[in-house]
Structure 1
Amino acid sequence: MIGKQLGGRYEILGRVGGGGMAIVYKGLDILLHRHVAVKVLRQQYVHDEEFIQRFRREAQAAASLSHPNVVSIYDVGQEEDIHYIVMEYIEGTNLNEQIKEKAPLQVEEAVHIASQICDALDHAHHNQIIHRDIKPHNILIGKNGRVKVTDFGIARAVTSSTITQTGSVVGSVHYFSPEHAKGTPTGEQSDLYSLGIVMYQMLTGRLPFLGESPISVALKHLQEDVEEPRKVNPLIPQSVENIILRAMRKSTSERYRSAKDVLSDLESCLLPHRRNEPKVNFLDDDELDEEKTRVMPALRPGQYAVVEDDDDAPRAKETAPLEKQKKGWVKPLVWFVVLMALVGGMWYAVQYVQEKLSVQRVDIPNVVDKPLAEAKKILEDSKLQVEADYQNDDVKPKDIVIQQSQANNQVIVGTTIKLTVSAGPTSKKIPDVTNLKLADAKTKLISSGFDSKNISIVQKFLEAEPETVTSQKPTPNEEYTIPGDVKVELTVSKGRETFKMPNLIGKTENEAKTLLSVNNLKLSKDGTVRQPSYKQSKGRVTKQFPFEPDDDVMPGTEITLTVSSGLPPEAGQMTVPVQIKPSKEGQAGTAKVILSDAAVENSEYQKLTNVTKTETLEVKLVVSPDKDATIQIRGDNIQNDSITITYKNYQDQKSGNNQSNGAGTPPNADTGTNGGGKTEQPATPASGTGGASGKPAKQGSGGTTPPPTGQNGDAATAPAGNTTGTGGKNP
């Protein structure tokens, strides 16, 4: 497939992944010149109508959604037996790979990812689409942190069947919901169950149910309770565990009703007042079953009276003689009058006794949430006694009434009302985070309830490893009550301080020592090492060890200096006369003399201007056994020459042999004076026309000629040796 074009527009660049149904390639949209992801149905399914329909359904399901947390579908097509979907290309990784690398994830990161997944599911459910295969492999995370839900390959509309074929279901068994595993219809809550498993895996680093086979895992979804996340990872706040447990309930009636409800819970679960909320409790299924078997008392004959209906009452009175009925009202009337008199007398007697023995009662005012002093005054003004009992409370401030023994009732005057008063939050000790990495220290503090906004960082150059906490304020084990109000300052090491090593090469010994002192560096025990040098004059630094110029170095580092003791004994110091001729006599020219020898390389020895006639320039140079000297003459309207002086020339001159390679002294040669006052023949070019020429040196008048100052500052004038001209123009 690599290099193939689909639809005449999408060029396949390379494979990026694959699943059981399709392979995903990275492609290039030639028309819009953008990268896309091309999902191609596997070849073994191209003739399976069921898989083709499922593949098309993915495109239809995802294309109907438009949300920043859902992978966008650009195009769908078929070319011969290749079925493909073109979708948005996400530069990044998937959640499964992040879990393998970093699990367990930080609580804040896991909640942030779950919130974005939940937002995408809410949008899909709102559009009547159930994903049915939420798992980390189908959650893409871009480099910008944006979460994208993909792979709607087994998604179905809410109104359609969820069973793919008789007796089987489609999906990832470790993320099945119980109803999905049974093959019964699935809905929005099935996706929420899978989301709960994804959150469990992000925060614990493992799956809630494992088994030797897919069937055993599916049975565990149906039968076994999940191990509580906080037992695996105690850093999970109780509020987050409650969300996971509610999302993973086996009964849909106990789960969240919608993705929107989960999202609302996720948005507030990390707030300080929710982190330590009570653990969620669920009623047992048996308690909700009205048809469960119960133990009831047996019914015995005659235990319950039979109530007769008025219609069944004897009707004998109806047949009584009319005369008896007329006479029967007198006796009841008498009894009624007597009875009323007795009732009136009794009522009067009771009122009299109550008036004599009455006890005054008062209403109990409600003083909850009031300060203790104010509550006492209110109750005492109502002629009631007060008894206060203190207890710690993480919500109510100190000296605030939490509850009272009686309220909204009448009691006898003088009754004692017991008040439970807040003693303030429970005192805790600040955790010790010294010697931890900064990220681990912040995680430990935040998990203890401290606000990340109140954690400040001070970085210093210290001996400890970089990003290590070396001290903290307040100090470890110092007591506090409300963590959200405590400001913590962490001192973090930036490692040892470094700076750029100064360049000591070419400095005098005293200058180098001063620079070391100024930069808080030390001279090593070895001090300075003296060695001969061609490059530096006597007393100047030729090498610094162990750090070169501009290397990163720490204060207090010891440095060893190598100082020049002058030229080596075998060094050959010579003064060579060089003739500079204009191209045409009388025509002014400019000349540069470039010298390369054992001490310098391509150095401009001297520049001459307005040269109108032949001039002789004495060039002082140094040769060594493995380094010859070269004198180049360059310029405008000047004969460009190049002269090579070899170490053999120096040896011949030193031994008194004034000729080299059988060449004699050319006529009109200049003369030079050697260092010992002895007349020597100057060097003569071995061949060519452009060589240097010289005259015999004049006889000295006693002693030696003072040494000239050359490139090294301590070179003495050497007798002119034989020179070898290269002839012709310098190329």
Structure 2
Amino acid sequence: MLVGKRISDRYKIIGLIGGGGMSNVYLAHDMILNRDVAIKILRYDFTNEDELHRRFQREALSATSLTHPNIVSVYDVGDDGDLHYIVMEYVQGKTLKQYIQEFAPISPARSVHIMKQLTSAIANAHENHIIHRDIKPQNILMDAEGNVKITDFGIAMTLSATSFTQTNSVLGTVHYLSPEQARGGTATNKSDIYALGIVLYELLTGELPFSGESAVSIALKHLQAETPSVRAFDATIPQSVENVVLKATAKDASHRYSTVEEMQEDLETVLSPNRMNEPKFVIPVDNDVTKAIPIIKEPTLRKDEDLTKTRAIEPITQSKPKPEAKKPVEKAVPVKKKKKWPLYVAGLVIAAIAISLFLLFATSPKKISVPDVANLTIVEATKKLEAEGFTVGEEPQERYDEDIEKDKVIETNPAEGTERVKGTEVDLVVSLGVEKTKVDDYRGQQISQVQSMLKGKFLEPEISDVYSTEPEGTIIEQEPLPPEEVIAKDTSMKFKVSAGVKMVTVDNVVNYTKAEMDEYVSRQGLKWRISREDYNNTVAAGSVISQLTKAGTSVEAGSTIAVVISKGPAEKPVKTYVTTVVIPYEPTEEGIEQQIRIEVQDKIHSMAKPYAEFPITSDKEYKIQFVVEEGQQVAYKILRDSQIIAEESFNYDDIK
């Protein structure tokens, strides 16, 4: 049991995440970098297979060359005794398979968004000459933000090589297996495109296009049956989206997208309104070729097969037709033979000479020159060396180099141009890039001292002055920050240095409103407060009457200005007066209503608005109440049928 153990004195195993046919995946903690990682460990029953082990390491090293936001990063590859492991990025979330099971069917927009991430990742892998070979939702992880990342790069390629060697079978998950793989052919980039098409089908429908009771029965459907229509499942799915599925899953690889990039370009516009009702994708018919389609029979089915796992699928082949019965041949008339023994003797002599020459030269191994692989990636260098007949050492040497960029080959051992026999192992020396320097923390130090320390090591620093309460010349901020590592000779440190405290000259703020005060102090880097509020007959209410910090005074930035705010003019004495008026009823015809309107002008009333309105059919006594402010003149007016019949005005002092 590995839980609790430490691998290579660095990775502490926390728990088992999952497992497959060839390896198990554990959650581990990187004790050096203090982060959680996923660690894939080759199962014990495969550790003694040297070829598998070498390929496992080689393909894992290839995967480290893949850097893409939608590919799970490979951090480290190594051995610890009999344990062979790969350390990968730990993605906290769920698999795409779990997401489909929980939320399917997925909307076309969301499905296309996911597929664009997947095609971008696979395109990156193909650019690096890596074919995934086992694309399926179980190998796609989804984080909490809904971003997807593909995992298990290179491992499927490793295991398939072993499968071919041992059983001549094809490795893959049968539900996503391309027709050419099912026939026992070599997987290509178009095999990955086929699997992506199946994944899109599953996203849109929540189902797999082909199912059966055994792996072989499903593989037969990949070979013989057309991909079902997603629009038959949901008619609202645009035809343009279905066309992506149909083209990606075409039986003949030549009818699929040429590259994953082409598929990605199609996905970019697939939801455009002008494409929603485009014609259905149809496989072009080749009228010049007539093909005989054989009937392929399915072998006996097994009820207990797990069809979701990556597995070895025996290639489906057609039995050869029995040869036609030979026609009888007429008996030849015997002819007298000539003696041929002298020819036989001559032939034997020539053969003996040829064999002697062959043994002479064949037993002397031919030497070939080690090719130049400098500036190539490990994958490119390995391919070139193997193509020349050399093998490549499992553990490349590493060293810093100012001229060769990181992860590219500096030189080989034996050196380029050295002659060696075929099969010689060549070790690679790989660049770690330019050696980096860990940045120190210079904050709180004087800029003059730091400049002296950095001179000759770093580029000239970029310095900007900022006002601060720190002593003048003190470094307040820096970029980059420790413990970042940088290439010193290419790096210019950036420093913000204290210029001391900023001084501000106070302006005359009398008559400023509160809003104007807010804007002023914000602009000057000051604050303000109300000392008190007083009545004032000349300064409007809410504006500054006076300031306690006099205009022209210099203060530190951040200081507070105290001001006196106006409450407006002081209130005057008020009297309340009530007068009673008699409104005479004088109709032109007895019994007719007359309309009365009373208008008042005082502290709270205006003649623009009626004080009272009512009808009368007889004389009416009415009380009018006035609110009179000191120094104010008030008045009233009575209208009967719109005619003024009484009006009067009087002053504050007239009221006793």
TM-score range, shorter chain: 0.3 to 0.5
Q: Which has the larger radius of gyration?
A: 1
TM-score for both structures, normalised by structure 1? 0.38
TM (norm. structure 2) is 0.42
Q: Which has the higher contact order (CA 8 A, sep 6+)?
A: 2
